[in-house]
Structure 1
Amino acid sequence: MRLSRRGLILGGSAMLAGCASARATPIVTAQAVSAPVTAPVPTPAIAAASLTPPPLDPRGRVRKELMERAMTALDTHHRHIPLRDRMYLVDFEKFSGDERLYEVDLEGGQVTVLRTCHGRGSDPAHSGYAQRFSNTPDSNMSSVGAYATAGASWGSQQGPNVLLDGLEYSNDKARERAIIIHGADYADPDFLAREGKLGRSYGCFSVAHADLPALRERMGQGRLLFAWA
């Protein structure tokens, strides 16, 4: 009996020691091993930067005053100019042989430059500089201000062209005066190379024949053309 009782006591002690060890050992679960993974959240600075549009005319090709006036006209005449992906500017302060017709990408900020003529009435001495402007029929002068492109057309005399609607008192007779954008021999590169300047129109924005097809397609209907000196 003593031996049996002693064995019972020893066995019980081992069982208690085993339970104590089990209670002291931490239980590791799958949830504890793998921490939840969350997607990185962009910081406000990065999010804001991604929404910032690129600067207009990063190379500074367009005269500052002309750009500012055009942007104001874009808002002033928004009812007539529904398309704001690009606009067209003409700087009549510049020499006719210089690139002074600008296509401004309002979404990407880039600027493409072309050449265009002014009216013979604006430059009677054919100096290459436009000096006077008028909205009067038969004046043969260029007109300044905001125009809305009115789409591609075809004329019996000038052929393919882009129609324009004048939006201001300084050019609202554009349709009556048939002021359009069309190709002309006197706006071609070989004329410029020979004469040192472009020829003169009757008030239209004449361009090189090679430039007209792409310009005619891209101008379309409902975009701004703004001319200033």
Structure 2
Amino acid sequence: MSISHDTRTRRAIIKTGGLLAGSMILPDALAAAMRDPETRHKPLTAEDLRPVRPAPYPKPYATARTSPRVVRPDLMRRAMAALDAHSHQGIKRDRIVIADFAAPSSQARFHFIDLVSGKSSSMLVSHGSGSDPEHTGWLQRFSNRDGSNATSEGAYRSVDYYVGKHGRSQRLIGLDHTNNNALQRAIVVHAAWYANPEIVRERGVLGRSQGCFAVGERDLDEVFARLGQDRMIYAAKV
């Protein structure tokens, strides 16, 4: 379920509007990695989904620094700077997705922003188990390392769709040194039952992925429609 709203940074967003279409030819090594992207992952278990602590808000993060209604200006500025930096790689500039990992997994922190109208909508998204080993609901750290099962920070380019072990999925290419192993690690967008809103109601936190952007099962069609191909996901904790 998504939450629709206008961002408070509408004027700044509209100035950066417009469309820059393009394409990028993948090196042979990346193309090979895309053929079978998920063979290294182990299946999630019930233990992965069980919160270790009963409370989803440990003391260091007792007060959320985010709002489910707006994208914070400092995060928006960083995302737009990343969009400018990577536009030469064929990234379209009409829409952008921002994953605000300063927010807990119980909060709608996956923001879909229309850069022309300034409007956005938000939904739940999981982070990796390696980023939150104690399953507190808060992302503690990023990692780009293969086998870490962690979320990676940085800008991603959305590419093609496929059907894999998680069902319908969309591949991502990491554009920064902090996430340039995304294709090799099979960091993708997919749906998962543990990312459904009722999991938050029942357990207080979402389940964790293996580093992928896992969204609710009923949200996947909307994600694919709003994200599309050759657009940017920007993931950060500011």
What is the TM-score when the length of structure 2 is the normalising length?
0.70
> Is residue 91 of structure 2 the alignment partner of residue 135 of structure 1?
no
> Is residue 144 of structure 2 the alignment partner of residue 188 of structure 1?
no
Aligned AA (1:55): R
Alpha carbons 1:164, 1:175 under 8 Å: kept: yes
Alpha-carbon displacement from aligned partner over 1:70-116 (angstroms, at most 9, x marks no partner): 10011100022431111000000001000100001000001111110
The total of aligned residue pairs comes to: 176
Alpha-carbon displacement from aligned partner over 1:105-132 (angstroms, at most 9, x marks no partner): 0000011111100000100111100011
Q: Distance in 2 between matches of 1:221 and 1:68?
A: 23
Aligned AA (2:229): Q
Q: Distance in 2 between matches of 1:137 and 1:218?
A: 29
Q: Distance in 1 between matches of 2:145 and 2:78?
A: 23
Tell me the C-alpha RMSD between the 2 structures: 1.9
* 1:211 match: 219
Over the matched positions of the two proteins, sequence identity in percent amounts to 41
* Higher RCO, Cα 8 Å, sep 6+: 2
Alpha carbons 1:123, 1:131 under 8 Å: kept: yes
Which stretches of structure 1, 4 residues or more, deviate above 2 A after TM superposition?
54-60
Alpha-carbon displacement from aligned partner over 1:133-180 (angstroms, at most 9, x marks no partner): 10000101000100011132221x111011100000000000100000
Aligned AA (1:127): T
> Is residue 64 of structure 2 the alignment partner of residue 55 of structure 1?
no
Distance 1:97 1:57, change over 3 A: farther
What is the TM-score when the length of structure 1 is the normalising length?
0.73
Aligned AA (1:175): L
Distance 1:196 1:56, change over 3 A: farther
* 1:177 match: 185
Q: Distance in 2 between matches of 1:57 and 1:125?
A: 37
User: Secondary structure of 2:141's match?
Assistant: coil
Consecutive unaligned residues in structure 2, runs of 5 or more:
1-9, 15-66
In the TM superposition, residue 57 of structure 1 has moved relative to its aligned partner by: 7.4
Query: Which of 153, 168, 174 is matched with 2:176 structurally?
Result: 168
